[in-house]
């Protein structure tokens, strides 16, 4: 199994973060579409040579991009080199992932974006792994502690859950999506931590949820 990093919006900052992530993951390969737009981009996608076509079904893929970092956020994005902001909803990101040639048998996707696993404050409660009950989400590192969540919070989905649903709609029937319960903090040359949204403490990458 190999590890790959996908940078959906290319900028100096995102390539820097991707480089730190690659070092943290032991030398993961960074993947990016070299064409922001135009016929070459469409040609490569149409003929199966998109930038994710080399990722195998049993590999792991880490998406590096800026997230809003708050519960229930809907988009990720970054400013491109030309200064224009490019954003993706999770439906749009799922379409891009499929268009870039990721095999439909793929399983293991991680969202290295701030707040990608957050739903609401009830996600973090006083348990060893400090995570709470989340509707329809399974994760061995998350212990159910607070089933009495209002219907409002039950309806507030995380980035990870929304992307999971969008990828399933694109035909990824074996997919699981890992989100993180705070801000992704990168420090050169090879350190990544998760800064807790409700409290500011730093944790390892076990501060997560996995949507299956």
Q: Tell me the pLDDT tens digit for each residue of 49-75.
A: 689 999 999 999 999 999 988 777 889
Q: CB within 8 A of 83, min separation 6: which ones?
A: none
Q: What is the pTM of this model?
A: 0.83
Q: Is residue 152 part of a domain?
A: no
In-domain check, residue 130? no
pLDDT interval class at 145 (50, 70, 90): very low
Assess if residue 139 is contained within a domain.
no
Asked whether residue 163 is domain-assigned, the answer is yes
Count of domains for the chain = 1
Angstrom CA distances, 85 to 63, 76, 139, 140, stand at 18, 10, 34, 37
pLDDT class for 143, splitting at 50, 70, 90? very low
For the segment 68-97, the average pLDDT, to the nearest whole number, is 91
Residue 83 has pLDDT above 90, yes or no: no
Q: Which domain holds residue 10?
A: 3-119+158-211
Q: Which residue has the tokens 């995102």?
A: 14
In a domain, residue 83? The reply is: yes
DSSP class of 28:
P
56, 103 Cβ separation under 8 angstroms:
yes
Angstrom distance (rounded) from CA 59 to CA 167: 16
Distance from the Cα of residue 31 to its chain's centroid:
15
Per-residue pLDDT reduced to its tens digit, 20-39: 999 999 999 999 987 665 54
Nearest of 188, 198, 189, 194 to residue 206 by alpha carbon:
194
What is the percent of the chain with per-residue pLDDT over 70, rounded to a whole number?
74
Alpha carbon 60 to its chain centroid, in Å, reads 12
Element (H, E) at 94: helix 90-99
Paired strand residues for 67: 76
CATH number, residue 170: 3.40.50.11050
Instruction: Give domain status of residue 131, yes or no.
Output: no
* Contact partners, residue 155, CB within 8 Å, separation at least 6: none
Instruction: Give helix 159-169 / helix 90-99 axis angle, nearest 10°.
Output: 50
55 inside domain: yes
Model confidence at 128: pLDDT above 60 = no
**Residue 153 pLDDT more than 60?**
no
> DSSP letters of 128-145?
TT-----TT---TT----
- Determine the average pLDDT of the residues in 190-195: 95
Q: Please report whether residue 147 resides in a domain.
A: no
Nearest one of 18, 171, 6 to 98, comparing CA atoms: 171
Kindly report the average pLDDT of the chain as a whole number: 81
């Amino acid at each position: 199994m190999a590890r790959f990093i996908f940078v959906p919006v290319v900028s100096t900052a995102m390539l820097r973060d991707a480089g730190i992530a690659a070092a943290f993951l032991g030398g993961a390969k960074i993947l990016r579409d070299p064409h922001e737009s135009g016929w070459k981009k469409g040609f490569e996608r149409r003929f199966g040579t998109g930038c994710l076509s080399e990722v195998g079904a049993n590999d792991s893929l880490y998406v590096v991009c800026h997230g809003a970092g708050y519960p229930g956020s809907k988009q990720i994005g970054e400013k491109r080199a030309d200064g224009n902001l490019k954003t993706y909803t999770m439906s749009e990101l799922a379409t891009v992932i499929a268009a870039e040639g990721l095999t439909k048998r793929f399983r293991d996707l991680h969202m290295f974006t701030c707040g990608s696993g957050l739903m609401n404050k009830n996600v973090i409660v006083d348990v060893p792994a400090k995570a709470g009950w989340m509707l329809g989400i399974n994760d061995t590192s998350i212990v159910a502690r607070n089933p009495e969540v209002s219907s409002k919070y039950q309806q507030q989905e995380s980035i990870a859950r929304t992307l999971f649903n969008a990828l399933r709609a694109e035909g990824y029937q074996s997919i699981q999506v890992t989100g993180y319960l705070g801000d992704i903090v990168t420090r050169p040359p090879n350190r990544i931590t998760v800064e807790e949204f409700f409290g500011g403490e730093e944790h390892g990458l076990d501060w997560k949820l996995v949507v299956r």
